[in-house]
Amino acid sequence: MDFDAWNVDLDTLSAYHTTGFRISVEGSPTHPLGVSPSHFPAGLSAVEQARLIRCGMKAIKDAATGTRASKTSDDVFDEAAS
């Protein structure tokens, strides 16, 4: 499973995984007051569920701060310096 396959909607403060899993936050996307996961895919272990939540939260935070998950600004700087 690709744990980084997310579509984020900042208007609704939600992230949708390609499996159908959804995570919504209340409050700030960078410092949420509450988190509501739903529609876990069948057959996931508790560890995989926790990882899916963690990756979804990261996707929401990255979208809110303008951070791209694939490359950080440090990666771009290191490539430019090479």
Render pLDDT for 32-82 as a digit per residue (tens, 0 to 9): 999 999 999 999 999 999 999 999 999 999 999 987 554 444 444 444 444
pTM: 0.76
Place of tokens 């007051």: 33
Per-residue pLDDT at 1: 85
6-9/32-38 β-pairing? unpaired
Strand duo 32-38 + 22-27: pairing = antiparallel
Residue 10: CB partners within 8 Å, gap ≥ 6? 29, 60, 63, 64
What's the pLDDT score for residue 69? 52
| Amino acid code (one letter) for 49 | Q
pLDDT at 26 over 90: yes
